[in-house]
Amino acid sequence: MPEFVTTEVRGPILIVTMNRPEVYNAVHPPMHMEMDAIWNDFRDNNDLWVAVLTGAGDKAFSAGNDLKYSASGKGGKIPDSGFAGLAKRFDLDKPVIAAVNGFAMGGGFEAALACDIIIGADNSTYALPEVKVGFFAATGGVQRLSRFMSRTKANELLFTGRHMDATEALGHGILNAVVPQAELMDAAMKMAQDIASQSPSSVRATKRVLNDLARAEGLDDSLAYSYEVLSGLMKTEDHREGVTAFVEKRKPKWVNR
């Protein structure tokens, strides 16, 4: 049984909940592996047609990468399918809906961007703040954000790491809808039920073509290149300083090397 993720089945709909509320559902290697296995099972189960991804509690969808766990030196790796088992996955031909409750930061936002539909609570906020801690948005944030909104506006968000509220994210076309937080899961389930009421074979065929389109646009190659660049970045003094400063709760001192 998964330790860091919960699942619930309602008819043909799978609900996946990232369940580490004590760290705002930040994702560490054991959780990545659990999510990879869950998405593999969802992919292979013909009785499940649509999934909803959300986070436990009312404060956070996910804070992204668990930097404190990374800084502890415990190690572990992300599966080949990428952050949260989704970011680099092109073998899933079923829709996934993100129900964003609270904030979606860094990899948490990237996990939402890897979904097919995003519904945000009215108190939800979004950011790719990796540049503030010596990383960059290497798990799909650069590629997907610049596809979903204007390139210059995406550049601003990627270079500064600033937050967007739900209204701004909706205006840029990142969100499909914004609803009161108390109604979030009802709205996500209604969307899932609407999709599940269509021909599942037709929906899966559509998703396969969308996956192929993403590959034709070079998304898979660009994601692979991001990990190559990240590998180099992680050897820099700035990267080490960023993570250390985050853990020590102080402003980093950058040296540009």
pLDDT higher than 90, residue 195: yes
pLDDT single digits (tens) 13-56 = 999 999 999 999 999 999 999 999 999 999 999 999 999 999 99
Handedness of CA 228, 125, 210, 26 (dihedral sign): positive
34 is catalytic: no
Q: Within 107-165, where are the H helices?
A: 107-113, 141-148, 151-160
By mean pLDDT, which of 70-74, 122-126, 223-227 is the weakest? Answer: 70-74
Rounded to whole angstroms, the Cα distance separating 159 from 153 reads: 10
Given the residues 3, 8, 22, 130, the one annotated as active site: 130
Confidence band for 71, pLDDT divided at 50, 70 and 90: confident
Given the residues 110, 156, 183, 228, the one annotated as active site: 110
- Percent of all residues in the chain with a pLDDT value above 70, rounded to a whole number: 100
The two tokens of residue 211 are: 């996956």
pLDDT at 143: 96
pLDDT single digits (tens) 215-249 = 999 999 999 999 899 899 989 999 888 888 888 88
Task: State the average pLDDT for the chain.
Answer: 95
Closest by CA position to 62, among listed 173, 8, 9, 141: 141
pLDDT higher than 80, residue 141: yes
Query: Quick one: average pLDDT of 62-77?
Result: 83
pLDDT higher than 90, residue 1: no
Q: What angle do CA 55, 98, 139 make, to 5 degrees?
A: 90
pLDDT higher than 90, residue 198: yes
The DSSP 8-state label assigned to residue 88 in this structure reads T
pLDDT higher than 80, residue 132: yes
pLDDT at 78: 85
pLDDT single digits (tens) 110-122 = 999 999 999 999 9
By mean pLDDT, which of 9-23, 131-145, 198-212 is the weakest? Answer: 131-145
178 Cβ contact partners less than 8 Å away, ≥ 6 residues apart: 119, 120, 121, 122, 124, 166, 167, 170
